[in-house]
Amino acid sequence: MTGDFAIISLRGGAIDAIRSADLGRKTALAQESATRWFARRVSLRSPLDAALPERPGRPDKPLLTPPTQVEKRSLHTLKGRIALLHAIAHIELNAVDLALDIVARFATEQVPNSFFDGWMQVAFEEAKHFRMVRARLNDLGADYGDLPAHDGLWQAAHSTRNDLTARLAVVPLILEARGLDVTPSLQAKMRETGDLESAAVLDVIYNDEKGHVAVGAKWFRFLCAREKRDPAKAFQELVRANFRGPLKPPFNDLARAEAGLTPSFYRSLASISHA
């Protein structure tokens, strides 16, 4: 399947993948665009690239609802584990489109090619994660789309569409970093229930996500250095301006620090959001 794609440029391939409502095609195109870019077989952008869509392509299901209406279930039931895996599949699918969107939307920024290398590695791995979680849902007799899902991730990113530094603050350094906080307890709960296969999928996601936060932190610091801004202070200002939710502890300080996201970035925001 991968050999059939007409990928004009990295930006063109990324936009084509974002626009695709066929999720098998979307993930394959994301990975093939990454592979060709890593081999330097395509240029960064082309005048023939399609327009970047307002929203990513999606199948008819799942039904998108406000986060408050997504039902919580116990992981000690099969339905509960399916619901959790479905929510994770939805997060990973959004993460594919968000990584591709950073590449496509900011392809004219004055950044080294290694910026695009990093984000296409993220896109490649998020596509892998989505497929792994979907395959696990299939093993359990379910599929992505069977349950409602919320639209918060894309909405959170939309406000930063005109500012790369703000996008890096919100997507990798808040949304992805949140995965580092919550995943270890989910892994432990999956093992408690005896669902070792799902726990193994979460292990892969958790280890890759550390790298994704690190890519975000690296380029956030790069842009702050170029603009002569203090990274922790800039992060706090950008989050207050562009992110509506609270930053909720507990934080996985060790995993965050390994990825270059130290407590000086986020601790004060957590206390403000709880005031």
Q: Residue 61's closest CA among 134, 146, 143?
A: 146
The predicted model gives 72-97 an average pLDDT of 92
- Give the Cα-Cα-Cα angle 236, 240, 244 (nearest 5 degrees): 135
Give a yes or no: residue 63 inside a domain.
Answer: no
Count of domains for the chain: 1
Give a yes or no: residue 172 inside a domain.
Answer: yes
Give yes or no for residue 271 having a pLDDT over 60: no
pLDDT band at 274 (very low <50, low <70, confident <90, very high): very low
Using CA of residue 183, residue 31, residue 35, residue 1, what is the dihedral sign?
A: positive
Give yes or no for residue 67 having a pLDDT over 80: no
Helix (H) or strand (E) holding 182: helix 177-192
Give a yes or no: residue 185 inside a domain.
Answer: yes
Q: Residue 97's closest CA among 156, 162, 19, 38?
A: 19
Give a yes or no: residue 131 inside a domain.
Answer: yes
Give a yes or no: residue 191 inside a domain.
Answer: yes
Quote the pLDDT of residue 70: 67
The predicted-structure confidence for 141-164, as pLDDT tens digits, reads as follows: 999 999 999 877 777 778 899 999
Give a yes or no: residue 229 inside a domain.
Answer: yes
| SS3 state of residue 150 | strand
Question: What Cα–Cα distance (Å) separates residue 272 from each residue in 5, 57, 157, 250, 266?
Answer: 48, 36, 22, 15, 10
Domain region containing 208:
73-269
Quote the pLDDT of residue 66: 77
Give a yes or no: residue 240 inside a domain.
Answer: yes
Give a yes or no: residue 164 inside a domain.
Answer: yes
The predicted-structure confidence for 86-131, as pLDDT tens digits, reads as follows: 999 999 999 999 999 999 999 999 999 999 999 999 999 999 999 9
Q: Which CATH number do you get for residue 231?
A: 1.20.1260.10
Lowest mean pLDDT segment, chosen from 171-185, 208-222, 238-252: 238-252
